[in-house]
Amino acid sequence: MAILEVRDMCKSFGKTEVLKGVGFTMERGEVISILGSSGSGKTTLLRCINFLERADKGQVIVDGKVIFDGSDTAKKSPSEIRKAQLNFGMVFQQFNLFPQYNVLENVVLAPKLLAKERPDFKKHKKEILAEIETNARDVIDKVGLTEKLMNYPCELSGGQQQRVSIARALALNPKILFFDEPTSALDPELTGEILRVIRALADKKITMVIVTHEIGFARNVSDRIIFMDKGVVAEEGSPEEVIDNPKNERTREFLKLIEQK
Amino acid sequence: MDALQQLFIGFGMNCLLFVLTLVMALPLGLIITFGTMTKLKPLKWVMKTFVWIIRGTPLMLQLFIVLYAPGILWHHPVSNRMGAALVAFVINYAAYFSEIFRGGIESIPKGQYEAGQVLGLTKTQVFFKIVLFQVIKRITPPMGNEVITLVKDTALARVISVAEILQNAYRYASKGIIWPLFASGLYFLAFTGVLSILLSFVEKKLDYYKG
């Protein structure tokens, strides 16, 4: 069964139609990259799936369970949305680390707050908190920042900050990890370290959706490429199909423009 | 010596008014902030009008109104002048604080809220665990300004005959003894001086991170 199915997502901001019925499915362990020029709706699609925007229409189905349905007029309670949201992890273009907390605190903040809701929290407080911290140190180690555990975000480079934000998302063990242009706010020499981390996650079969402009990286890391144009999926297929032999006119134009850069 | 003692007792009133105003106006200000930022249009409108009236009229006038209005409107004269002064100060300063809070809250980037949201935090958790501390850091300098102004504004309580330091000093001045007026100035200088040191200490403490 598909781990994620997105159906017919539509979203308008005022009179501007940003998504005009976008859908795709993905399997567990799959890595999908979404390409497309700015304004094609990639980021909006990610934000709609992650409940940061409310899509006007469409469905999001995780493991066969509908977690979002645009036609559902009954408003979902905030706790239902939070629960659905926890299926996903999100890495932002601008990192969005919490500046007042050090690396470790950034990573443990959400797991600790969520643990408080567990019925057995009071009884096993010590063990649960210790487990959270061990897990946090583990994911921080995965992104190679063990030496920066006690540093504050302002003391880190952009690349390191983005690695912390990946660790922060991983700490909650999401079913699917979303990346919204994770290297776009970084100097070119810092993008490599992020791409290496994502590559390593792909090798560990973490299910990921990556919105990116790094064509070479997308080809290398993805099982499938989705090319979006003007709010619809213009082309979809393996990296070889979409990047090396694009059928769609817009895909060709886009790839040519990127190559020229 | 008698004069110095009188000044000291008077300044006690100023300090009391200062501390009580601060303790009550800070939380009230935060509540007003939520009122002016709410999506409920009527409530927002009422709160904004309230802030406009309080900030748009002299504190001295507000002192008179709090003291005399209950007696005139409801035949229920206010006998506790210190209490009346406190009410006027708390309302006035809460309005000013609320605008500083609002500015601070609105200056926090949307990404902080979104990051909290995708991590499964509730709105309350996002506010208290992520946003509030950053707001406090950002508003410490303008708050310091307001707090120092409050110290000096406590002298205004004199207009409704609260026995504060200037009231006492003026009694001597009217008899031709001028020095207590200057002495009361020294009291204020000393107090605001200590506050300034305290505030810069807090600012330094909060400066452990940038952003």
The whole-angstrom separation of Cα B81 and Cα B49 is 27
The HSE-up count of residue A25 (CA atoms within 13 Å, CB side) is 8
Residue A51 contacts by C-beta under 8 Å, 6 or more apart in sequence? A68, A81, A84, A85, B117, B118
- What are the tokens at A202? 């792909």
Task: Work out the pLDDT band at B37, boundaries 50, 70, 90.
Answer: very high
pLDDT value of position B131: 95
**Two tokens, residue B101:** 């809070």
Dist CA B41 CA B21 (whole Å): 29
Q: Specify the range with the lowest mean pLDDT, choosing from A91-95, A135-139, A223-227, B3-7.
A: B3-7
Residue type at B94? A
Sequence-ordered list of residues with C-beta below 8 angstroms from that of B26, at least 6 positions apart, any chain: B94, B97
Give every strand in the sheet of A57-62, ordered side by side. Answer: A16-26, A4-13, A57-62, A65-69
Cβ atoms of B25 and B89 closer than 8 Å: yes
Query: What's the confidence (pLDDT) of residue B180?
Result: 87
Helix (H, G, I), strand (E, B) or coil at A15: coil
Extents of the domains making up chain B: 2-107+141-206
Q: Which residue blocks in B119-178 are alpha helix, DSSP H?
A: 123-125, 132-153, 165-173
Of residues A50, A98, A154, nearest to B112 (C-beta):
A98
Q: What is the pLDDT of residues A181-203, one digit of tens each?
A: 999 888 888 888 999 999 999 99
Count other C-beta atoms under 10 Å from residue B118's C-beta: 27
Query: Looking at chain A from residue 202 to 261, which residues have their Cβ under 8 Å from any Cβ of chain B?
Result: none
Distance CA(A104)–CA(A114), nearest Å, equals 16
A85: contact with B, CB 8 A cutoff: yes
* Cβ-based contacts of B119 with chain A (< 8 Å): 109-110, 168-169, 172
| Sheet of A232-237, strand order | A88-91, A176-180, A208-211, A31-35, A224-229, A232-237
Chain B touched by A114 (CB under 8 Å): yes
Q: Which pLDDT score, from 0 to 100, does residue A111 have?
A: 95
Residues of A in contact with B116 (CB under 8 A): 110
Is residue B85 within 8 Å of B162, Cβ to Cβ?
Answer: yes
Selected residue of B114, B117, B118 to mutate for chain A interface (largest A Cβ count, 10 A)? B118
- What's the pLDDT tens digit per position in A202-258? 999 999 999 998 898 899 899 999 999 999 999 999 999 998 888 888 888 888 887
**Which residues of A fall within a CB distance of 8 Å from B115?**
92, 96-98, 165
pLDDT of residue A255: 86
Give the tokens for residue B156. 């205004």
> What pLDDT is stored for residue A261 in this prediction?
66
Structure tokens at B75: 């035949």
Model pLDDT, residue A260: 75
What is chain B's mean pLDDT, rounded? Answer: 92
pLDDT bucket at A259, cuts 50 / 70 / 90: confident
Cα–Cα nearest to B162, from B173, B150, B154, B152: B154
Question: Residue A169: what pLDDT?
Answer: 96
Q: Which CATH superfamily is domain B2-107+141-206 in?
A: MetI-like (1.10.3720.10)
Q: pLDDT for B50-59, tens place per residue?
A: 999 999 999 9
Cα separation, B161 vs B83, whole angstroms:
12
Quick one: tokens of A41?
């709706």
pLDDT digits (tens, 9 = 90+) for A138-153: 999 999 999 999 999 9
Cβ atoms of residues A182 and A203 within 8 Å: no
ipTM of the prediction: 0.92
Token look-up 């290398």 returns A220
Whether A99 and chain B come into contact, CB under 8 Å, resolves to yes
Measured in whole angstroms, the distance separating CA B172 from the mean position of its chain's CA atoms is 29
Average of per-residue pLDDT values in chain A: 92
The residue type at B59: L
Query: Which pLDDT value is given to residue B1?
Result: 56
Instruction: Residue window 163-202, chain A: list those with CB within 8 Å of chain B.
Output: 165, 168-169, 172
Closest residue in A to B211 (Cα–Cα) = A99
Q: Are B91 and B29 in contact (CB under 8 A)?
A: no
Torsion of CA B145, B61, B11, B19, to 10 degrees: -50
Looking at residues B8-13, what average pLDDT do you find? 89
pLDDT digits 0-9 by tens, B168-188: 888 888 888 888 889 889 999
In angstroms, the CA A116 to CA A130 distance is 13
Residues of chain A with CATH 3.40.50.300: 1-87+176-261
Least confident window among A58-67, B73-82, B137-146, B198-207: B73-82
Question: Residue B56 in 3-state DSSP?
Answer: helix
Q: In this predicted structure, what is the pLDDT of residue A214?
A: 87
Which residue, B14, B25, B34, is CA-closest to B143?
B25
- Strand A57-62 versus strand A208-211 pairing type: unpaired
pLDDT of residue A51: 93
Rounded to 10°, the helix B179-206/B165-173 angle is: 160
pLDDT at residue B81 above 70?
yes
Min Cα separation B117/chain A (Å): 8
Just give the CATH number of A1-87+176-261. 3.40.50.300
